[in-house]
Amino acid sequence: MEDRIIYLLKKEQGYLSGEELSKTLGVSRQALWKHIQSLKELGFDITAVPHLGYRLISIPDRLYDFQVYQGLKTKDFGKRILYFNSLSSTMDMATQLALKEATEGTVVLAETQAKGRGRLGRIWYSPKYKGLYFSMILRPKIALDKASIITLLAAVGICEAIKEFCALDVQIKWPNDIMIHNKKLGGILTEIKAEVDEVNFMVIGVGLNINNDKRSLISQATSLKQEKGGELSRLGILQNILYKLEVNYSLFKNKGPLAVIDKWRQLSLTLGKRVKVYSHREHIEGEAVDVDSDGGLLIRLDSGLTQKVIAGDVMHCR
Site for a second copy, residues 138 to 167, rule: CB under 8 A: 143-145, 147-148, 151
Shortest Å, Cβ 197 to a second copy: 4
Find the part of the chain contacting a second copy (CB under 8 A) among 50-58, 137-145, 223-231, 238-246: 137-145
Interatomic CA distance for residues 91 and 109, integer angstroms: 10
Q: 83 Cβ partners below 8 Å, 6+ apart?
A: 63, 64, 65, 109, 110
Q: 132 Cβ partners below 8 Å, 6+ apart?
A: 63, 109, 186, 206, 207, 208, 210, 234, 237, 238, 241
List the one residue from 8, 27, 194, 221 that touches a second copy (CB under 8 A). Answer: 194
* CB of 132 closer than 8 Å to CB of 206: yes
Burial of 146 (0-12, 13-18, 19+ CB in 10 A): middle
Interatomic CA distance for residues 102 and 108, integer angstroms: 11
The gap between the terminal CA atoms of the chain, to the nearest Å, is: 55
189 touches a second copy (CB under 8 A): yes
Nearer to a second copy, 148 or 248 (CB): 148
200 touches a second copy (CB under 8 A): yes
Shortest Å, Cβ 283 to a second copy: 14
Nearer to a second copy, 168 or 310 (CB): 310
195 touches a second copy (CB under 8 A): yes
List the one residue from 128, 193, 253, 255 that touches a second copy (CB under 8 A). Answer: 193
Nearer to a second copy, 29 or 253 (CB): 253
Interatomic CA distance for residues 52 and 49, integer angstroms: 5
Q: Which of 90, 79, 75, 95 has the alpha carbon at shortest distance from 202?
A: 95
95 touches a second copy (CB under 8 A): yes
Find the part of the chain contacting a second copy (CB under 8 A) among 77-85, 94-102, 251-259, 297-305: 94-102
Q: Which of 85, 45, 92 has the alpha carbon at shortest distance from 63?
A: 85
Shortest Å, Cβ 281 to a second copy: 9
101 touches a second copy (CB under 8 A): no
Nearer to a second copy, 195 or 302 (CB): 195
Site for a second copy, residues 234 to 293, rule: CB under 8 A: 280
18 touches a second copy (CB under 8 A): no
HEC letters along 284-312 = EEEEEEEECCCCCEEEECCCCCEEEECCC
Give the CA radius of gyration of the chain: 22
Shortest Å, Cβ 234 to a second copy: 26
213 touches a second copy (CB under 8 A): no
Which residues of this chain interact with a second copy, rule CB under 8 A?
92, 95-96, 99, 119-120, 143-145, 147-148, 151, 175-176, 189-198, 200, 280, 295, 310-312
